[in-house]
Amino acid sequence: MGMTIAEKILAAHSGHDHVVPGQLIECATDWVLCHEITTPAALRMLEERGMDRVFDLEKIVAVPDHSVPAMNIKAAKMYQKLKSWVQEKGIRHFYDVGRGGIAHVVLENTGLIKPGQTLVSGDSHTCNAGALGCFATGVGSTDLAGAIYAGKVWFKVPETMLIRVSGDLAAGVTPKDLVLEVIKRIGADGANYLVMEWVGDTIDRMDMEGRFTLTNMAIEAGGKTGIVAVDDTTRAYLAARGVTQGEYTEYTSDPDAQYKVVIDLDASAVEPTVAYPHIPSNGRVAGSDRIAVTHAYVGSCTNGRIGDLRDVARILKGRKVADGVQMIVVPATQAIWKQAAQEGLLEIFVEAGASVSYPSCGACLGMHSGVLGPDDVCISSSNRNFVGRMGDPTAQIYLASPATVAASAVAGYISDPRAYNADGTEAAD
Amino acid sequence: MPTVHVFARDHINTDEIIPARHLTTDVEAELAKYAMEDYDKDFVRRVQPGDIIVAGADFGCGSSREHAVWALRGAGVAAVIAPNFARIYYRNSINNGFLALECENVVETFMDGDPAELDLAGGTVTNTRTGQTLTFVPVPQFALDVQKAGGWLEYMREQDQNRQDQNQPQQEEQHA
C-alpha cells in the first residue's frame, strides 16, 4: 500500500520502511523550536528530574515571541529563563528580541527547516512550517522537554485528509479566505488528528507566503499538521535562503496512498470570508452583515508577512482608518518590518492613522500590546477567535484576510475588500 | 463520591480553560485559581478534589498550552470525560498521566452536580443518581504505561535505563 508524504517522513524518522495510520512510533525530531512561554516549564521539568541536557545544540532554535518585549516582571523572568538556558548551553540559533520576531515566521525564513524533516514546538501553530514539505506539529511542554532531552517524540501516525483545490482565486480573495472556507466546510474539529495535505493547480500557483497561511491554520480544524509537497516554488524559496536541493529530501504521496477524506474545492467560487465569533469555522461572506468594529488587527504567524502588509497598504494608501477604530499593524519579523519600511508601507499605515507595532504574538492571544476590553469588536488577520482569546471574554473577534481587515478599518464596519481594485482604487459597482 | 461538572458545549478551548493572561506561571497551584475562568468564573469555588468534568466534543481545542491540564488537575479535577478531545490536549493529558476519557453520550447522561462512580479497570462511568452506566473507549495501553511510569519523561527515562541494562552484558562479554 502506498504512503502519503506525512507517512513517508514519519517512517524515515522512526526506523521503519513503512508506517500505517494508527501505528504508535517514536519519531526523531530534526528541529525543536523554543519560545519563552512553554519552554521554561519544559526546562523546569528536566531540571527537577536531573535530565537537564540537550540532545543536540545545533537542532534547537530559540525565539522569544509571545510576551516580548517583556510586558511585565513575570514575563521578563520567563524571557530570562529562556535566554540564560540558551547562553548556558551554547545554543547558537537564538533569535533575540530585535533580531527575530514571531517564531514560526522567523523559522520559515532561516533556511534551517527543510523539506522532509520533522519539527516540534510547544506551540500549536508549529504546523505552519508544513508548507515546506516537512512534518511540523505543536506539542505541550512535556513533549517539548522530551524532544529537548532525547530528540524524539511519540506519535500515533495520523491519517491524512486530501484537499484538492483548482481554479484561480478571484481578485481580492486570498489564501486566508480559502482556508477559512475549508474550515467552515469541515468544522473546527473536521481534521482532528489528521494531516491536511493541500494539492491542485491553485496550490501549484500559490506563493510560499500563501501556502504558509494554509498550513498555519491546520490546527484551527484540529489538524496535526498541514503539508504541501515540494515544487519549483519551494525550491526557489529555499535557494533564496541559501539551501540547495541536495540538502533535503523531497517526498511525494504515492498514487495509491490512502486518504481518510478527500475534499474538492473550486477556488474561483471562494469569496472573502470572515469567521464570526467564537469559532474559526463560523465563516460568512465579508460584508453580508453590517458589523461595526472598534479594533482592526493585522499581524500574527498566520498573516503578518510582507505580502499581507502590501495588501493592507494598497487599501490604506491615501485613506484614513475610520474614526472610532483602533488599528494596529504588526509585521511578523524584524526582517519583514525592515522591508515594509523600505517599501514605504509603514509610512502609509502611520499616515492612515494605524499604530505600527514591533514583531510579537502579543495581541493575537490577548497577552499585551492590543488586548481587547469588554464588548470590543475586532476584525483580525489572526487565526483564532475563541472567547477571551484576545482579551476580555465579552469581546467579539472576527477573523479575516489582511485585505478584509484593511477594508473594514477604513469603513468602520466589516467590509468586502473587493470594493477596491488591485491598484487600490475603488471598484465601480 | 465525585461530583460531575457538566460543560455541555462542544469545542471548549484552551483559552477558556486557562486564558493566556495567566500563562506567565507554570505553577499548578497558581494556575488552578483560574481554571475555566472564561467559561465559568465560579467553577474553582465549586470544584472539590476528585471531581469529574463532563464536556462536549473536541474538548481542549486551540493552543498547545499544557497549562490547561495543569490548571484542571491543580483545581482538583480527577478526570475529564468527553466524546473526544483535541489532539494536543489529549497528548498533554497522557504525558501527565491525567485522565481524558472518550465516551459518547456522556453529556446527555449527566446533569451538573450529579454524583458519579468511575471504574477505570472496568472502563465504565456510572451516574449514581440515575443508575445509568456508560462504557468509555478503553484507554490505550501506551497511555496506561506512561501513566504507570509517572509521565512521559519518566517513561522515556525508564526506557533509556532498560536499553542500557540490555547493552551492559554484551559489553562485558566483549571485555571478557
Provide the β-strand partners of residue A164: A199, A264
pLDDT at B171 exceeding the cut of 70: no
Average pLDDT, chain A: 97
Q: Does A189 contact B57 at a Cβ distance shorter than 8 Å?
A: yes
A333 in Cβ contact with A341 (< 8 Å): no
pLDDT at B176 exceeding the cut of 50: no
A290: Cβ contacts below 8 Å, ≥ 6 apart: A413, A414
Nearest partner of A45 among A137, A126, A148, A123, judged by Cα: A148
Nearest partner of B60 among B9, B17, B4, judged by Cα: B17
Distance from CA of B104 to the nearest CA of A (A): 16
Is the peptide bond preceding residue B2 cis, with omega within 30 degrees of 0? no
Task: Report A:70-109 residues touching B (Cβ under 8 A).
Answer: 72, 74-75, 77-78
Taking residues B122-127, report their average pLDDT.
96
Distance from CA of B36 to the nearest CA of A (A): 11
Q: Does A37 contact B142 at a Cβ distance shorter than 8 Å?
A: no
For the stretch A117-154, pLDDT in tens is: 999 999 999 999 999 999 999 999 999 999 999 999 99
User: For chain B, how big is the Rg over CA atoms in Å?
Assistant: 19
A364 is in an annotated binding site: yes
Q: Does B39 contact A387 at a Cβ distance shorter than 8 Å?
A: yes
**What percentage of chain A reaches a pLDDT higher than 70?**
100
Which of B21, B88, B160 faces A138 most closely, judged by CB atoms?
A: B88
Cα distance between residue A34 and residue A63, in whole Å: 6
Question: Cell match 489582511: residue?
Answer: A402
**pLDDT class for B159, splitting at 50, 70, 90?**
confident
What angle separates helix B87-96 from helix B152-175, to the nearest 10 degrees?
Answer: 60
Question: Cell match 524559496: residue?
Answer: A237
Cα distance between residue B114 and residue B91, in whole Å: 28
pLDDT at B151 exceeding the cut of 50: yes
Q: Does A41 contact B26 at a Cβ distance shorter than 8 Å?
A: yes
pLDDT, residue B173, reads: 47
pLDDT at B172 exceeding the cut of 80: no
CB neighbour burial string for B42-72, b if at least 16 within 10 angstroms, e if fewer: ebbeebeeebbbbbbbbbbbbbbbbbbbbbb
Identity at A322, one-letter amino acid code: A
A273 in Cβ contact with A181 (< 8 Å): yes
Question: Cell match 551492559: residue?
Answer: B168
* ipTM for the predicted complex: 0.93
Cα distance between residue A286 and residue A401, in whole Å: 10
Task: Report A:26-55 residues touching B (Cβ under 8 A).
Answer: 37-38, 40-41, 44-46, 49, 51
User: For chain A, how big is the Rg over CA atoms in Å?
Assistant: 21
A27 is in an annotated binding site: no
Q: Do domains A5-266 and A276-419 have the same CATH topology?
A: yes
Question: Cell match 516549564: residue?
Answer: A41
For the stretch A261-302, pLDDT in tens is: 999 999 999 999 999 999 999 999 999 999 999 999 999 999
Q: Does B64 contact A122 at a Cβ distance shorter than 8 Å?
A: yes
Cα distance between residue A198 and residue A262, in whole Å: 10
- DSSP secondary structure string, A42-85? HHHHHHHTT----S-GGGEEE---SSTTTSSHHHHHHHHHHHHH
**pLDDT class for B169, splitting at 50, 70, 90?**
low
Cα distance between residue A369 and residue B136, in whole Å: 44
B contact set with A (CB within 8 A): 10-11, 13, 15-16, 19-21, 23-26, 37-39, 57-58, 61-67, 69, 84, 86-88, 91-92, 95-96, 140, 142, 151-154, 156-157, 160
Residues of chain B neighbouring A362 (CB-CB closer than 8 A): none
Residues of chain B neighbouring A186 (CB-CB closer than 8 A): none
A125 C-beta neighbours (distance < 10 Å), count: 28
Q: Does B15 contact A387 at a Cβ distance shorter than 8 Å?
A: yes
Residue A365 touches chain B, beta carbons under 8 Å = yes
pLDDT, residue B170, reads: 53
Cα distance between residue A106 and residue A33, in whole Å: 11
Taking residues B157-164, report their average pLDDT.
86
Provide the β-strand partners of residue A80: none
Taking residues A309-317, report their average pLDDT.
98
Query: What count of CB pairs under 8 Å joins A to B?
Result: 129
pLDDT at A350 exceeding the cut of 80: yes
Domain regions of chain A by residue span? 5-266, 276-419
For the stretch A390-427, pLDDT in tens is: 999 999 999 999 999 999 999 999 999 999 999 999 99
Which of A38, A72, A192 faces B58 most closely, judged by CB atoms?
A: A192
Q: Does A142 contact B92 at a Cβ distance shorter than 8 Å?
A: yes
Mutate: best of A361, A365, A372, partner B, most B CBs <10 A: A365
A377 in Cβ contact with A295 (< 8 Å): yes
Residues of chain B neighbouring A44 (CB-CB closer than 8 A): 26
pLDDT, residue B167, reads: 79
Q: What is the CATH code for A276-419? A: 3.30.499.10
Q: What is the CATH code for A5-266? A: 3.30.499.10
Altogether, the residues listed in chain B come to a count of 176
pLDDT, residue A429, reads: 65
Residue A145 touches chain B, beta carbons under 8 Å = yes
Average pLDDT, chain B: 93
Which of B38, B88, B160 faces A139 most closely, judged by CB atoms?
A: B88
* Residue B116 grid cell: 458519579
Task: Report A:208-237 residues touching B (Cβ under 8 A).
Answer: 219, 222, 224
**pLDDT class for B163, splitting at 50, 70, 90?**
confident
pLDDT, residue B174, reads: 47
A301 is in an annotated binding site: yes
pLDDT, residue B147, reads: 87
List the Cα angle A322/A326/A332 in 5-degree steps.
120
For the stretch A196-253, pLDDT in tens is: 999 999 999 999 999 999 999 999 999 999 999 999 999 999 999 999 999 999 999 9
A314: Cβ contacts below 8 Å, ≥ 6 apart: A403, A406, A420, A422, A423, A424
